[in-house]
Amino acid sequence: MSRPVQPKPAKLVIGLFTGHTPLLQTAIEQMKTLFGPIDLISPWFEFKWTDYYEPEMGGNLYRRMFAFSQLISQADLPDIKHQTNRLETQYSVNGNRQINIDPGYLLAERFVLATGKNYTHRIYIGKHIYADLTLVYQNGGFQSLPWTYPGYAEANMQIFLSRVRNKYLKDLKMDGTP
């Protein structure tokens, strides 16, 4: 019989993409207010894998990733997704988002994103939110899955997430988490 145990805390990672970079600093400050200090910030990643967002957000989209200092409970992901949805709505113009904010968490063995959209590989985690297993960590690196969004499958993204993973492992040790 398996015995339930308390899950390890997770590293909050939020991806933000926009074509309106002046909004970025204000959004970052609001995310800091909500989720605490930021440990690591990625370089800009060109958002070039899909034109899905162009009708709503326009072209020339760029993404940045943010890893937060404070570890979170994995169970907090639905609430965090709702908070980031409110920020997206706050920055909308005529019903169109100017900024897209994708929260997730990182553990030693995986990277998970939150979404409001159901799909075959997504698991319902409560409050109308699903968990998308985006990457797994095996054989010394992150591995894409058949459904991994192309931007997360790219080497530069996985290099950044590996940096986040290293910081997370140090955070666990400092926290005394086995």
Domain at 147, CATH number: 3.30.70
Answer whether 145's CB lies under 8 Å from 111's CB. Answer: no
Asked whether residue 3 is domain-assigned, the answer is: no
Domain enclosing residue 160, as ranges = 10-175
pLDDT digits (tens, 9 = 90+) for 53-76: 999 998 889 999 999 999 999 999
Asked whether residue 1 is domain-assigned, the answer is: no
Give me the long-range contacts of 89-92 (CB less than 8 A, separation at least 24). Answer: 91/23, 91/27
pLDDT digits (tens, 9 = 90+) for 104-137: 999 999 999 999 999 999 999 999 999 999 999 9
Whole-prediction pTM: 0.95
User: What is the domain count for the chain?
Assistant: 1
pLDDT digits (tens, 9 = 90+) for 147-170: 999 999 999 999 999 999 999 999
Answer whether 170's CB lies under 8 Å from 10's CB. Answer: no
Asked whether residue 89 is domain-assigned, the answer is: yes
Distance CA 132, CA 148 (A): 9
- Please state whether beta strands 38-41 and 141-144 pair in parallel, antiparallel, or not at all (unpaired): unpaired
